[in-house]
Amino acid sequence: MTLKIAFLASDAPLAQTAHAALVGRYGNTEKEKADIIVALGGDGFMLQTLHSTQALPAPVYGMNRGTVGFLMNEYHESDLPERLSEALEEVINPLSMKATCTDGTVHNALAINEVSVLRMGPQAAKLKITIDGRLRMEELVCDGALVSTPAGSTAYNYSAHGPILPIGSDVLALTAIAPFRPRRWRGALLPKAAKVRFEVTDPEKRPVMADADSRSVLNVASVEISSAPNVAHRILFDLGHGLEERLIREQFV
């Protein structure tokens, strides 16, 4: 049976060129009717595609036409149907973010990689951290903090010296970004079911923003984060190059 493929591409010239070549070779199907969605771009475009197609039944297979491409497969044109038929599927649950602003407005978003809270001005943020309704840290003075999924643990989390998490682990990483007090605190590993709450101390003097996969909310007073097990993103990887293998390999470079 011939696979019905929907090709989506970022605005980058390299991705647009690849899109034209692949559509010319294999045709193109509307994403709502596709068996598989092929995303052409970098990791940012892959996250964008997963968010925009999460209600569709088709899994997403990425080919790297960006920079790092951690969530992408190598780009080849000739053997695409064979690669798609043999690809491994990984299922990822995103994080749910509820950000309450200082004016009382509430913003909800999903994040496949991480939810972060970040200082907006020259002064460090002061945060209270509550886990499952229990105050765990009275004051964290820092540039920010984040909660990461295993799939996102090699991104911003790793840059902030957080741990790389195995893809099958039911664990979230809570990582401080440039902590000043407690100076040596490097974060925590939490059960996937944990509910994390950040409260901003003195948000008028020390304004803080929240970010869910690059979707930002300014001037937050509190941010609540939890896993969203009812949402499942299906990602395809080439045989022998699945996300689990990539996460292990990343720890030895």
Q: Which domains, ranges and CATH numbers included, belong to the chain?
A: 5-92+232-250 (3.40.50.10330), 95-227 (2.60.200.30)
- The pLDDT value recorded for residue 1 is 61
- The pLDDT value recorded for residue 2 is 85
Q: What is the pTM of this model?
A: 0.87
- The pLDDT value recorded for residue 200 is 98
Angle (nearest 5°) at CA 130 between 126 and 136: 85
- The pLDDT value recorded for residue 115 is 98
- The pLDDT value recorded for residue 248 is 79
Q: Which residue has the tokens 């040596």?
A: 184
Alpha-carbon distance of 229 to 167, in angstroms, equals: 15
43 in catalytic set:
yes
3-state secondary structure the chain: CCCCEEEEECCCHHHHHHHHHHHHHHCCCCHHHCCEEEEEECHHHHHHHHHHCCCCCCCEEEEECCCCCCCCECCCCCCHHHHHHHCEEEEECCEEEEEEECCCCEEEEEECCEEEEEECCCCCEEEEEEECCEEEEEEEEECEEEEECCCCCCCHHHHCCCCCCCCCCCEEEEEEECCCECCCCCCEEEECCCCEEEEECCCCCCCEEEEECCEEECCEEEEEEEECCCCCEEEEECCCCCHHHHHHHHCCC
Instruction: Name the stretches of the chain with pLDDT < 50.
Output: none
Biggest CA–CA distance in the chain, Å, is 62
pLDDT tens digits, 197-238: 999 999 999 999 999 998 999 999 999 999 999 999 999 999
Catalytic choice (43, 170, 202, 211): 43
- The pLDDT value recorded for residue 25 is 95
For residue 13, CA distances in Å to 43, 69, 211 come to 16, 16, 28
- The pLDDT value recorded for residue 186 is 84
